[in-house]
Amino acid sequence: MRILSKFVLSSFIVLGLASQPAMAADSQKMDKVLVTEAFHSLLYLPVYVARHEGIFNRHGIDVPVVRSAGSGPTALASVLAGEAQFSVHGPEHVGFAQERGGNAKAVSAIANSAPVWILARQDMAYSVPSDLKGKKIVVGLAPGTSNTLLKRFLAANGLKDKGEVSVTEVQNGSELGPVLAGQADVAVAYQPQVEQGLAQGLKLIYAFTEDYPEYAFSTINTSQRMIDQNPDLVARFVGSIRDSLQVMHADPEIAKAVARKEFASLDAVVVDAAVQRMLENKVYPPGVKVTEEAFKTAIDMQKYVGNIKTEMKYEDIVMSVFADKLAAAK
């Protein structure tokens, strides 16, 4: 109890720093931190914007590199081992780590809403889900989110896989190929594949962002040790993400320019369109709070596919005090 009381007291003292205008980088000591991400993705653009636009620096944080770990568990493992200070991935991995004895928390939203869309050939008529009867659908491998969303969509609309529709699973990122080659009718995809498909003549027929506007798809996560020992740094990091999201929504051209730098091998028009759509669909949320509704949606999705069989409680996995303090300071 003594340690917890110390944290609660110190967190409310230092959180005031994050709610004030950011200090100039040269007026305070810079904390160098390592951020590990599940993979390099447009979904994590708020981190890249904070880095490229000097937002981290204005909060006294130096992020020399964002390192791709290859998976959520690996990214979080680096944090728990003390090699990295923050990780980016779904909040469910915090729960999985806790089940194995790891003590971590999700402290900030970064990708909200379900970032998955359904594309079809231009000549395929579509107005209601029943129009998918008899069609060939291509989707990423299970238990990926796009696969889960498709299964729930088909079940909710009375469409049975291998009966009324034909579903083929492929490696994530290759969903467009069979449709563009005329071997399938529909593709379920993430960004930037969605904009690549549209650029090549496909049409958008469904957005899962409409079904799941509150979905904690990806969060900023850190260890309980970091929270206890350096709550000021955690507060400033969350404040940086808040400022980054505000910049992205206020000036989408800044977000697009950073995305083009981070994904230079992709067509710039495709990148710009992907960022614009995710801003409009609130995949990049307007604030940093991981809401209980968004958390529940994410966990329920994992339960649906059997990844989670135990109870994962919001208060055990999410620490909202940093986001709450920022919101209260407005």
> Cα 257 from chain centroid?
19
Q: Give tens-digit pLDDT for 200-248.
A: 999 999 999 999 999 999 999 999 999 999 999 999 999 999 999 999 9
Count the neighbouring beta carbons within 10 Å of the beta carbon of residue 67: 16
Q: Please tell me whether the overall predicted TM-score, pTM, comes out greater than 0.85 for this model.
A: yes
pLDDT computed for residue 162 by the predictor: 59
Q: 215 and 101 in contact (C-beta within 8 Å)?
A: no
- State which amino acid sits at residue 19: S
User: Is 80 exceeded by the pLDDT of residue 23?
Assistant: no
- Asked if residue 231 has a cis previous peptide bond (ω within 30° of 0), the answer is no
**Stronger pLDDT, 45 or 5, i.e. the higher one:** 45
- CA 225/CA 291 separation, integer angstroms: 23
Residues 66, 61: Cα–Cα separation, whole Å: 13
Question: Average pLDDT, stretch 298-326?
Answer: 92
Question: Exposure pattern of 184-208 as b/e (b: 16+ CB <10 Å)?
Answer: bbbbbbbbbbbbbbbeeebeebbbb
**Average pLDDT in the chain:** 91
User: Quick count: other Cβ atoms within 10 Å of Cβ 158?
Assistant: 10
Report the candidate in 248, 315, 317, 278 with the shortest Cα–Cα distance to residue 42.
Answer: 278
Q: How many angstroms separate the CA atoms of 310 and 245, rounded?
A: 33
Question: What structural domains and CATH numbers belong to the chain?
Answer: 2-113+214-328 (3.40.190.10), 117-211 (3.40.190.10)
- Which of the four pLDDT bands, split at 50, 70 and 90, describes residue 5? very low
What residues contact residue 251 under an 8 Å CB cut-off, 6+ apart? none
Tell the residue number behind the tokens 């469409």, with chain if given. 159
pLDDT in tens, 49-106: 999 999 999 999 999 999 999 999 999 999 999 999 999 999 999 999 999 999 999 9
Closest-CA residue to 17 (of 2, 29, 34): 29
Q: How far apart are CA 313 and CA 216, in angstroms?
A: 14
For 186-288, list the strands marked E by DSSP.
Answer: 186-189, 203-207, 216-223
